[in-house]
Structure 1
Amino acid sequence: MIKSGWSWRLGLSFCILLIGFPATAAITLVNADGSTTSLEKPADTVVTLSPNLTEMVFAAGGSSKLKAVVEWSDYPQAAKSLPRIGDAFRLDMEQLLKLKPDLVIAWDSGNPTEVLDKIESLGIPVWRTGVSTPEQIADLLENIGQALSTSETATSAASDYRRQLEALRKQYQDTPPFRYFIQLHPKPLYTVNGEHLITRALSLCHGENIFTSLAVLAPAVSTEAVLSAAPEVIFYTQSDNPGSIQNDAIKTWIPWLGNSHKPRFTQLNPDWITRPGPRLLAGIHQACQPQQPK
């Protein structure tokens, strides 16, 4: 009887352990505003709502779990073959529901709040990500790895990114300070303020944004305001596509520039400098290298 009682207690204890400790632990993801999104287990069916997040999921080793993306998700090459469910602002909710994703990864400053709220109202978890410094890109890679159970690949990618970022910091640590204007779009004329990731990235080589103090993250400015600030460098983002509106970037300034002030023009690849992801490193190098003393 003693032996049978012991066996019964042992069996009961084992059942309690199974109930108390699930095979896969829950995952808590921190949103850009500090709130959290919880998953019962790592996500297997993922949708990204921003091209840079598509890149990040691939870099973190989660490409096999990525089932749909938005327009302009064109890197890496394999991303071009994934189904599109709309763009950053308008989504095909019916198609999204058919996919039955267990996680939608959104960009907090790029996707409309009402769209994300709608997705959540359908019972689909939304992770509202964001970064404000180059260093945080590595952190996000690791967090994506946690969310998708691809931590080994994600950790390796994050470590490689941090190593390259530190190498760039050392390479450009002696760059003389320079004042710049970055033109994201010529008509209307859009730029970024001091809180933007681009500004913080270019500070690595001592670039000083002439519109640092503006309140809006990506404000529209006037040509007169730019010229009165007299930047030493004008960065402009230009696509390789000859038909792109960005190819008119320098033409915007030709009628305004006199002999008294001639800034240096530096072309930047928009996919590198404006998409928060691992390729930001290439954008930093492209911006900083021409500013070195001859």
Structure 2
Amino acid sequence: MKKIIKVIQNNWPVFFLLGVFSVATAAPVIVSDDAGNTLTINRAPQRIVSLAPHVTELIFAAGAGDKIVGTVRYSDFPAAAKDIPRIGDNRQLDMERVMALKPDLLVVWMHGAFERQLDVLKQSGIPFFFSEPHKLEQIPETLVKFGSMFGTEKTANAAAADFRQRLSELTNKYQGKPKVRTFYQVWHKPLYTLNDKHIVSDAIRLCGGENIFGKLPVTAPVVSIEAVLHENPEVLISAESKNQRDNGLEQWKTFSSMTAVKNNQLMTVDGDLVNRSGPRIIDGAAAICDALEQARIHRNSGNNKENKGKK
């Protein structure tokens, strides 16, 4: 016993530091989600269930993709996500499979149609993090939060810094540019668009665009062809999916009086880059900026020709 006490006394600084270290690492992580709920994480989650494709992308970017044990349909990026077991889609979850996975964290998109099922899962005591960024600047904020929650700060902070850098570059390039009236088409049967509360509209604003239906109260409203013609957008952007045969642009070409058609400003962007509120949305924002800049170039070209004709 005396020998043990002597060893401890001789090495007391080491034991003291180890004690401090264990206390520091045991400190809980407290974060707020996009619904304003406060979540306390006492231990880094090891079995995460992701209930939206954009959530899966965020978790991978934050360096914890290997902790995802279940996800939903269309969670196909990065490539490793394709190997994760599916437990449903945004309409229906396989509750038995979810519970069998024994998750210690659920990361949820708030507009999934499985809300009633989530109420059941909440009663199980599984922690929830709700993810629905409305602004581009929230993407790096979420990455940092995930890094602190999952113990992957280095990877998550690097990804956040890269996103912020690209966002800053786009902001500097397009701030002060002339406004371009824009119609953003999510789907054409029926004709869906988005209002200003959606993160896509934040990207449109970043690029100097004006969402012609931004003031509508519904986040993803259905509008009529007549309403679009009445608003007469200068550019029409279709969020084309990789799996979509028809992007719906052909239907507009018969309306030659609409400015976007008359000027041949019917553009497509990869829907996965813009409709998913994940790290790749900065690529989607850059594509939107390019489309709006093309409209400005065409506008200036037309004005120059008109001015020459008056001389």
Instruction: Sort the TM-score into its range (normalised by shorter chain).
Output: 0.7 to 0.9
Moved more, 104-113 or 183-192: 104-113
Percent identity, aligned pairs only, is 36
Q: Matches of residues 84-163 of structure 1 in structure 2 within 5 Å?
A: 84-110=86-112, 112-163=114-165
**8 Å CA contact retained: 1:106, 1:129:** yes
Partner of 1:232: 234
1:51 to 47, 50, 53: 53
What is the one-letter code of the residue matched to 1:49?
L
Instruction: Report the Cα distance in structure 1 between the residues aligned to 2:140 and 2:156, rounded to whole angstroms.
Output: 9
What is the one-letter code of the residue matched to 2:184?
I
Distance change (3 Å), C-alpha of 1:186 and 1:138? same
Moved more, 24-33 or 274-283: 24-33
**8 Å CA contact retained: 1:116, 1:126:** no
Say which structure is richer in helix: 2
SS state at 2:210 partner? strand
Count the aligned residue pairs.
275
Instruction: Report the Cα distance in structure 2 between the residues aligned to 1:113 and 1:92, rounded to whole angstroms.
Output: 13
Q: In the alignment, is residue 219 of structure 1 matched against residue 221 of structure 2?
A: yes
Distance change (3 Å), C-alpha of 1:260 and 1:150? closer
Gaps of 5+ in 1: 1-13
- The root-mean-square deviation of aligned C-alpha atoms, in Å, is 2.1
Distance change (3 Å), C-alpha of 1:152 and 1:248? closer
SS state at 2:89 partner? coil
Instruction: Report the Cα distance in structure 2 between the residues aligned to 1:270 and 1:57, rounded to whole angstroms.
Output: 20
Gaps of 5+ in 2: 1-15, 298-311
SS state at 2:30 partner? strand
Partner of 2:309: none
**8 Å CA contact retained: 2:235, 2:259:** no
Instruction: Report the Cα distance in structure 2 between the residues aligned to 1:89 and 1:45, rounded to whole angstroms.
Output: 22
Partner of 1:291: 292
Deviation, 1:25, is: 1.8
Partner of 1:201: 203
Partner of 1:273: 274
Distance change (3 Å), C-alpha of 1:237 and 1:24? same
SS state at 1:127 partner? strand
What is the one-letter code of the residue matched to 2:119?
D
Instruction: Report the Cα distance in structure 2 between the residues aligned to 1:82 and 1:75, rounded to whole angstroms.
Output: 11
What is the one-letter code of the residue matched to 1:279?
R
**8 Å CA contact retained: 1:89, 1:115:** no
- What is the CA deviation profile of residues 9-60 of structure 1, one whole-angstrom value per residue up to 9, with x for unaligned ones? xxxxx9xx99x95852222231322122323211111110000010000100
